[in-house]
Each structure stands twice: as structure tokens, then as C-alpha cells.
Structure 1
Amino acid sequence: MVEVIDDGPGIGAEAAGRVFERFYRADPSRSRERGGSGLGLAIASTITEGHGGRLELETRPAQGCVFRCVLPGGH
């Protein structure tokens, strides 16, 4: 398991359910020209699932987020 933790504003419930969708941006002020294509988390999720794992999001409004990459253990 790998966790990435931030202390930003968090992500609202509606956006949290969509952050792993291709081209979705939780912050509508971010555009492709301003540094976001909405693909990063979708790509990470696809790669993780391809290895038998999953990405998880734990969001804490006004306190930040925890993104968790969970992969199966090796034998």
C-alpha cells in the first residue's frame, strides 16, 4: 500500500465519486491550459487495476485527502 496525503481543502462528496473518471476535474477553474487534463487519476487507477489492485480516496472536507494505492501482496 502507498498513500499520498495532502492538507488542502478536500474534495466534496459529489466530486469524490467521480475523480477517477477520465477528463473529470473536481476544480472547474483548472483547464488544460492551466495545468490539468483530468487524466492523471484515471490513468493511475487503470494501471493499478491492471495489476490487480485498486485506488481509494479518503476525503476530509477542509482537512485534505488521502489517496491510497492498494496492490496485492507478492508470493
Structure 2
Amino acid sequence: MEVDYNKLRLLIELSKYGNLKDASIKMSRSVSSLSKDLAALRLQLNDALLVRVSGKLQMTSFLENIHSELDNGFKKIDE
């Protein structure tokens, strides 16, 4: 399965900021485009990935299981 790098980075930013607006500012993209990418990832990975709890996005157990590997991978790429 091929997953777009930028869409995976979106998961890291959303888990860090907890909302689409702040992540969109960080990523210099519109909220609408991030929302569409999140929807595509949810379908592709067959998981909600992030759910809204008390107004903030929180990771599902699936995303919690892969988050540290994704985050470490992006940190290495960014070095």
C-alpha cells in the first residue's frame, strides 16, 4: 500500500496541535485541503485515526501504535 508522505505528516501535525486550523497554519495549507487529506487517509488505512474529544483531536489506538515510528521517521528526514 502506497501512502502519500505529506498525508502522513498531516497525522503528526494534527496529533501535535489537536486541530485542523493550527495544523493548516504550520503546514501552510488550507483547512479544507487538510480535511480532505485526513478523509482520504481514514479510508486508505481503514481507521478514524483522530477523533474529536472535548473539542480537540485525539489519536485512536491505531494511530497511537504507529505515531512514534512516524514521528521518528519524519525527524530523520528533516535533519
TM normalised by structure 1 equals 0.33
Q: Flag the structure with more relative contact order, 1 or 2, with Cα contacts below 8 A and sequence separation at least 6.
A: 1
Which protein is bigger by CA-based radius of gyration? 1
Structure holding more strand per residue: 1
